[in-house]
Amino acid sequence: MRVALVSFRLGGPDGVSVETEKWRAALHALGHTTYRVAGAFGSGEPGDVTVPGLGYSAAVAGPDDSAPPAIGVLDAALADADLVVVENVFGLPLHPGATAVLAQVLASRPAIGHHHDLPSQRREWAAMAPEALALFPPDLPRMMHVTINELSRRELAARGLDATVVPNTFDPDPAPGRLAAELRARLGLADGERADATLALVPSRVIPRKDIGRAIAFCEALQAAARPVVLLVTGPVEDGYASVFARMCAAADVRVAHHPDWFGHGGAFSMADAYAAADVVVFASAWEGFGNPVLESVAHARPLVVSPYPVLAEIEAMGFRFTHLGADPSAAVAAFLDGTSTALVARNREILATTLSPARLRRDLATLIDAIGPFPIGWARQASR
């Protein structure tokens, strides 16, 4: 089949973009072809279709109320697809007008709604009126709902919507970072046995729910107990949070190095380099649909300190064990310094390989596509002629 993957934005460092690429790889492995449709692309490629009005502004907090895409333009962008995979456009009300137009276009078409988040799970949208919730996600005749955690599946079930859980998956043996020493040197840090400071990594965007302040507090406590700490933050600032983050960094008793331009498309380093260079990963987020940095830290064999956000309990139910970061960071600091966090790494990697591998995603997607059918291959192209 020809599969269109559609979202507000794709090709960036955000979790939705990252998981979309994993789904693309799995679909290709199953013999399908894909193309991407979005309002904006962080890293574009031939075949991408940009639809004006489908994206949203990440510079301001709250939903985007700009003009949505024209229904004919969006319909034309998806006309050549046998199956449409919707990546979180039906998950969060980031641009409600665009969501409404997409629901019209997909009224009778085979689709998978891949919902990474739901409005009730975010503080800014938890009090949405029931009538507004009807689009997040909509109940469309030929759309199968997929959530990335059991918490969301149960919430949709309470609304009368059946959903299947397909957890995020990870390469248990990713290509290692090759430029760890170069990255540390660029930060002014020595490497290996000559290292004179601890490099802590926050591999995420800078938005309120990521709770960068708690990560800074951990690093301050670690520095007070041991040696100097540099906190490297790799993601961009969004949701109108720039001034708050600037004040936070200025008040910190540790050095905060914020360099989103160093990583990803156009940057000198990969995220694999960031993980390889880090002595510890600090992930203090209050809410995650899944929490990719948690499992990425496992895959890259990095000690991890993580705040116990709700869905982390589902991950730990698979057998993973992590050092928790509480309101008082002293216990997490002690666990890192005495080697407890490091001792968990090997066991967690073994569990990752058996529970959340790319092979599982291929099996899950094959099952989903079988459940959506039957429909004739090429029906969309024939109907559009």
Residue range 60-85, pLDDT digits in tens:
666 778 899 999 999 999 999 999 99
In this prediction, what percent of the chain has a pLDDT beyond 70? 96
Residues 72 and 129 in one domain: yes
Same domain for 146 and 257, yes or no, is no
For residue 35, the SS3 value is: strand
Give the model's pLDDT for residue 239: 85
Report pLDDT for 196. 85
Same domain, residue pair 129 and 188: no
Q: 334: buried, middle or exposed (CB in 10 Å: 19+, 13-18, 0-12)?
A: middle
Pair (187, 164) in one structural domain: no
More confident residue, 43 or 313: 313
Instruction: Answer whether residue 140 is part of any domain.
Output: yes
Question: So what's the pLDDT on residue 132?
Answer: 80
Residues 123 and 41 reside in one and the same domain? yes
Least confident range from 125-139, 144-158, 164-178, 284-298: namely 125-139
Domain count, the chain: 2
Per-residue pLDDT at 154: 97
pLDDT of residue 337 exceeding 60, the answer is yes
Give the range among 38-42, 68-72, 132-136, 274-278 with minimum mean pLDDT: 132-136
pLDDT greater than 80 at residue 385: no
Instruction: Identify the CATH number of the domain in which residue 61 sits.
Output: 3.40.50.2000
- Cis amide leading into 137 (omega within 30): yes
Helix (H) or strand (E) holding 144, with range, is: strand 143-147
Closest by CA position to 146, among listed 364, 353, 313? 364
Which of 111-115, 119-123, 269-273, 288-292 shows the lowest mean pLDDT across its residues? 119-123
* Interatomic CA distance for residues 194 and 140, integer angstroms: 60
pLDDT exceeds cutoff 90 at 22 = yes
Residues 347, 198 share a domain: yes
pLDDT, tens digit, for every residue of 219-231? 999 999 999 999 9
Show the domain range for 82.
2-169+357-384
120 and 10 within one domain:
yes
Q: Which pLDDT belongs to residue 376?
A: 55
Reported pTM: 0.89
* Same domain, yes or no: 161 and 296: no
Q: pLDDT tens digits, residue range 235-264?
A: 999 888 999 999 999 999 999 999 999 997
Phi, psi of 115 (to 5 degrees): -100, 110
- What angle, 0 to 180 degrees and rounded to 10, lies between the N-to-C axes of helices 292-299 and 15-29? 60
Q: Clarify whether residues 310 and 207 are in a common domain.
A: yes
Q: Is 97 left (phi over 0), alpha (psi -120 to 50) or beta?
A: alpha
Residue 383 confidence (pLDDT): 42
Pick the more confident residue, 151 or 239: 151
Say which amino acid occupies 263.
F
Residue 381 has a pLDDT of: 45
Q: Classify residue 174: in a domain, yes or no.
A: no
Residue 374 lies in a domain: yes
The answer to whether residue 175 sits within a structural domain is no
* Amino acid 122: pLDDT: 84
Query: Band of the pLDDT at 13, cuts 50, 70, 90?
Result: confident
Residue 17 in contact with residue 10, Cβ under 8 Å? yes
| 189 shares a domain with 157 | no
In whole angstroms, what is the distance from residue 327 CA to residue 127 CA?
27
Question: What pLDDT, on the 0 to 100 scale, is given for residue 379?
Answer: 45
Q: Are 158 and 191 found together in one domain? A: no
Is residue 40 pLDDT above 70, yes or no?
yes
- Mean of the per-residue pLDDT values for the chain? 92
Question: Are residue 221 and residue 314 in the same domain, yes or no?
Answer: yes
207 assigned to some structural domain: yes
